[in-house]
């Protein structure tokens, strides 16, 4: 990748995996913005390097030419936008920009469960992806052993030990089809989610739609047969080039009945989940019962990072003027509403930790993290 403007932080080294949810999101963005980077496939050595310098054993991570470090895809994209403002992934309309951020967060955090289901429950996908992971970390001969262990760990961590059971498993599986219900008519009319150019919402959705649903053995055939517009959009976003798009960005306000299922999922299930998670964390509870309009996840894990997600959304919403807030309330009028965004904000305590870039430091990880990584993002 190349970028004509001078950037003292470039070239960047991207530590990633070609099956990683957020690696795909980050790489698609870097390709679109033509940012100069080299990729480094993850292995035991590079994974330890990430942990040593960032304090977290998660990918993707980015090392700058100044030996500074970036992690977490959402603040990474926002950091890059300040350096490369051309062809911005954020609309200038404040209310529309908030919607873009909301959909990016929803794509990042709510689509985890169906992504994990379609990757690790169907046996063909589980074996194929597990074998790839095994080869990355322990080589060809021991790959099947590590692959089976990793598949069991992921199913336990993200599904059956996180509120998924026999009663709601079918609904988790079918979350993919509900996303198709939204995406198919939208992408029939326009190339990207909010108009003529990719936005942060496209990249947020892309994380699951590309690496999981669009590539894994079982779900990719489901996408080809049931969501051809989505299948085409995945390739379009991966290959998006500003020179081939209109010179002027045309951002579109959400209109049409096809938006309603998504708006209801966000207002009636996802935002209540974030709020219930935040209150559980504030109360010191490691688990809580999530009750939404569509989904109930009993004894689901409290996630500290998602307290930060809600905190950021609330902060962004509260700085909008009254007119823009009213436009958003009107958009969600046919749902149970978005008053959660105006509620008292629970402090996550993660603001400083999420500030980028990070200076390279010699962090020491607990033994368990050193051995098996951090499965929750």
pLDDT > 70 fraction of the chain, expressed in percent and rounded: 94
- How would residue 132 be classed by pLDDT, with cut points 50, 70 and 90? confident
Report pLDDT for 6. 84
In the chain the domains, ranked by start, together with CATH numbers, are 12-88+356-372 (3.40.30.10), 254-355 (no CATH)
DSSP, res 113: H
Integer angstrom CA distances of residue 71 from 38, 138, 157, 202: 16, 24, 22, 19
Segment 296-342, tens digit of pLDDT: 999 999 999 999 999 999 999 999 999 999 999 999 999 999 999 99
Q: What is the mean pLDDT of the chain?
A: 92
Asked whether residue 280 carries a pLDDT value surpassing 80, the answer given is yes
What is the reported pTM? 0.93
Asked whether residue 4 carries a pLDDT value surpassing 50, the answer given is no
Q: Around 348, how many Cα atoms within 13 Å sit in the side-chain half-sphere? A: 23
Residue 128's contacts (CB-CB under 8 Å, 6 or more residues apart) are 216, 217
Cα gap 184→319, rounded to integer Å: 33
Cα gap 241→198, rounded to integer Å: 10
Residue 136's contacts (CB-CB under 8 Å, 6 or more residues apart) are 17, 41, 42, 43
Q: What kind and span of H or E run contains 71? A: strand 68-71
């Amino acid at each position: 990748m190349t970028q004509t403007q001078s950037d003292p932080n470039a070239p960047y080294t991207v530590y990633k995996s070609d099956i990683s949810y957020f690696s795909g999101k980050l790489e698609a963005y870097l390709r679109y913005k033509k940012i100069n980077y080299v990729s480094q496939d993850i292995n035991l050595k590079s994974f330890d390097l990430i942990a040593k310098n960032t304090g977290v054993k998660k990918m993707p991570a980015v090392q700058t030419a100044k030996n500074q470090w970036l992690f977490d895809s959402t603040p990474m994209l926002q950091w890059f936008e300040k350096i490369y403002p051309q062809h911005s992934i954020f609309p200038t309309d404040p209310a529309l920009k908030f919607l873009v951020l909301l959909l990016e967060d929803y794509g990042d955090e709510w689509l985890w469960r169906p992504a994990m289901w379609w990757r690790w429950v169907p046996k063909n996908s589980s074996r194929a992806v597990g074998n790839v992971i095994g080869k990355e970390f322990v080589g060809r001969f021991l790959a099947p052993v590590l692959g089976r262990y990793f598949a069991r760990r992921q199913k336990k961590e993200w599904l059956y030990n996180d509120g998924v059971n026999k009663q709601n498993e079918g609904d988790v599986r079918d979350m993919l089809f509900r996303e198709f219900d939204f995406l198919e008519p939208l992408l029939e009319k326009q190339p990207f989610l909010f108009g003529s150019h990719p936005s942060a919402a496209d990249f947020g959705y892309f994380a699951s739609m590309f690496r999981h649903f669009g590539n894994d053995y079982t779900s990719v055939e489901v996408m080809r047969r049931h969501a051809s517009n989505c299948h085409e959009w995945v390739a379009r976003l991966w290959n998006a080039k500003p020179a081939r798009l209109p010179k002027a960005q045309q951002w579109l306000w959400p209109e049409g009945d096809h938006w309603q299922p998504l708006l209801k999922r966000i207002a009636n299930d996802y935002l209540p989940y974030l709020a219930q998670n935040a209150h559980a964390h504030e109360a010191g509870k490691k688990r809580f019962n999530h009750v939404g309009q569509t989904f109930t996840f009993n004894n689901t894990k409290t996630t500290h990072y998602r307290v930060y997600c809600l905190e950021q959304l609330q902060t962004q919403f509260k700085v909008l003027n009254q007119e823009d807030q009213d436009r958003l309330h009107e958009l969600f009028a046919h749902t149970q509403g978005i008053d959660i965004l105006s509620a008292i904000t629970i402090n996550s305590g993660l603001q400083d930790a999420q500030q980028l870039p990070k200076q390279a430091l010699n962090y020491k990880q607990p033994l368990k993290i050193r051995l098996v990584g951090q499965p929750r993002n």
